[in-house]
Amino acid sequence: MNSANNSLTLKMHGQTIKAAWIDVDQTLLDFDACAKEAMEHAFHVFGYPWKDDYFQTFLVENAKLWDRIEEGSMTREELGRIRFTVIFNALGMQLRDPDAFEDTFISRLRTADHPMPGALEALQRLDALGIPIFIASNGSAAGQLGRLERAGMGPYFRDVFSSSRFGVPKPDLSFFTQSLDAMNELLETDWKPENVLMIGDSWKADIRGALPFGANCIWFKANRAHDPFEREDAPRVFEADSWDEISAWIEEHTERTES
């Protein structure tokens, strides 16, 4: 326990990190494992024979569609209407009822809660430093929080910043500025973008969106083989392949300060 005159702070490039915003899919939760469970379930419900190889096609085609969302040329609603038509066409199969199939997939996806290894421990480290943690996601706010609750992570989050809440997805600058306003209002603070640490797996949505905003970033690169990102050199970004690396980074960048 810290003494009254001695406190711990997390710093990056000389800036004090006062809050952490964290993406969900492929960051806190293993989206690949969750989506495979949901897709296999939908195949069985609709009577289609399942092969594990089909999921590789899902990863490739789904990444292309989400890339369009992140660049603003497609909405999440449009993705839901065409996703499995595109995937079944790529598989050379005929999909009878795309809307019902998507609904079944999403329903099962919302109950899937495969955590990324080490994610819970990293949340506990941030929480022990007194850093408030927020969800920052392009997914459904209620769905994401429910999955995190089932994974045992829900109690660590103060609020959910989502594209459905703000009307724009990451990487739109407005997503980040509205998140900052909502955070400061909730906490009754006047924190700046440089006090925020953004942790996410998508270079285009999470990192490229947070850098112009002024936040510090950790790019979580696990399972990004199918991400059509365009990486750039960015000094304010730490690249991590696992949550264990992030936990080690937290320990390394924690400083004891006199108060």
36 and 20 together in one domain: no
The arrangement of strands across the sheet holding 254-258 comes to 15-17, 6-12, 254-258
Interhelix angle for 119-128 vs 243-252, to 10°?
20
pLDDT value for 227: 61
H/E stretch holding 15: strand 15-17
What span, in angstroms and rounded, lies between the C-alpha atoms of 82 and 249?
40
Out of 109, 129, 149, pick the residue that ends a domain. 109
153 and 206 together in one domain: yes
Out of 70, 92, 109, pick the residue that ends a domain. 109
Out of 93, 109, 125, pick the residue that ends a domain. 109
pLDDT value for 113: 87
172 and 204 together in one domain: yes
pLDDT value for 248: 95
44 and 22 together in one domain: no
pLDDT value for 231: 66
Q: Is residue 43 part of a domain?
A: yes
Identify the CATH number of the domain in which residue 172 sits.
Answer: 3.40.50.1000
What span, in angstroms and rounded, lies between the C-alpha atoms of 90 and 74?
19
20 and 36 together in one domain: no
pLDDT value for 140: 77
36 and 25 together in one domain: no
pLDDT value for 3: 36
CB atoms within 10 A of CB 221: 18
Query: Euclidean distance between the first and final Cα of the chain, in Å?
Result: 15
pLDDT value for 69: 83
CB atoms within 10 A of CB 12: 18
What span, in angstroms and rounded, lies between the C-alpha atoms of 147 and 140?
11
Q: Is residue 1 part of a domain?
A: no
Q: Is residue 139 part of a domain?
A: yes
Q: Is residue 201 part of a domain?
A: yes
pLDDT value for 162: 94
Q: Is residue 48 part of a domain?
A: yes
130 and 21 together in one domain: yes
Residues 183-237 have pLDDT tens digits of: 999 999 999 999 999 999 988 889 999 999 999 999 998 876 656 555 667 778 9
88 and 216 together in one domain: no
Q: Is residue 223 part of a domain?
A: yes
Residue 64 belongs to domain spanning: 32-109
216 and 164 together in one domain: yes
pLDDT value for 2: 35
138: nearest Cα among 195, 39, 67: 67
3-state secondary structure of 26: coil
143 and 222 together in one domain: yes
Residue type for position 40: E
pLDDT value for 234: 74
Positive or negative: CA dihedral 203, 204, 206, 208: positive
120 and 101 together in one domain: no
93 and 196 together in one domain: no
How many distinct structural domains can be found in the chain?
2
List the chain pLDDT tens, one digit each, 259 residues: 333 334 899 999 889 999 999 999 999 999 899 999 999 999 999 999 999 999 999 999 998 998 888 778 888 889 999 999 999 999 999 999 999 999 999 999 988 889 999 999 999 999 999 999 999 998 877 778 888 998 999 999 999 999 989 999 999 999 999 999 999 999 999 999 999 999 999 888 899 999 999 999 999 988 766 565 556 677 789 999 999 999 999 999 999 876 4
pLDDT value for 5: 39
